[in-house]
Amino acid sequence: MTERNDTHAQVNRPLLGEFAELLARLEWDVALLQEAPPRWFRTFSERLGASGALALTSRNLVPALQRRLAECNPDLLASSEGGSNQLLARGRIVAVRRMTLARFPERRRMLCVRLNMAEGEVCVANVHASAGLPVRAAAEVEAAAERAVAWAGDDPLLFGGDLNLRPRRDPEPFARVRDRFDLRDATEPDAIDHLLVRGLDVVEPPAPLRPELREVIGPDGLRLRLSDHAPVVASFAFREEARATA
């Protein structure tokens, strides 16, 4: 059933169209999605005119049955539909790599791609670390950062996603990836979603998207908020020496 308050509604139906609409109206070159339904990936790529890659994560047990149940009653199935980390890009993907970070209590994976952009090549890593377990999440993030830096080599690296670490509460992991791998800077002291970079100039630092920009109009003019996380947006630029080399 649809639930309402004075300003917002929650509807029990798939919101693929609304998510695609939101992504279509935002400006981006690369979009990192965590725990998105795998069945949405092809539609996102086609509707948004983007190349893409995905890594299956947790609860992908009987995909065909899970897809059917999710179409019928998404609220009932919830995250048991199965998840994936997805990366959409308005650039040519020339290589894709995946790394399993944890198998228990849920499978966590890093998705890493090398993109050929007009200004040069850049590596992008999409991570979703374990929730509610800061020590485990810190170990996963550091292992992912080490592998992503190795894969990137001398090319710039964007390392982002839901790290499930808050800089105010857990400053040590951010200090370690900064000191070891030159990946910086965290979004906000209490944020868990971050975009860390190495070898790129920061034009607009990572910041959460305003609530109204992740909403669409739903039933009776009420608003649908499409994510319980505030998406993080940022703008980076290739450095002059990288452009000259490219």
Q: 212-227, pLDDT tens digit by residue? A: 889 999 888 999 999 8
Q: Which residue in 144, 99, 117 sits closest to 30, CA to CA?
A: 117
Count CB-CB contacts under 10 A for residue 212. 8
Q: Across residues 99-125, what is the average pLDDT? A: 95
Domain extents in the chain:
3-245
For 110, residues 6+ apart whose C-beta sits below 8 A from its C-beta are 55, 85, 98, 99, 101, 125, 126, 127, 144, 147, 148
Beta-strand ranges (E) seen in 118-229 are 120-128, 157-162, 193-198, 200-208, 215-217, 223-225
pLDDT digits over 121-148, tens only? 999 999 999 999 999 999 999 999 999 9
How far apart CA 60 and CA 62 sit, in angstroms, is 6
With a cut of 70, say whether residue 242 has pLDDT above it. Answer: no
- Top-level class of domain 3-245: alpha beta
User: Quick check: pTM over 0.75?
Assistant: yes
Check residue 241 and give its pLDDT.
64
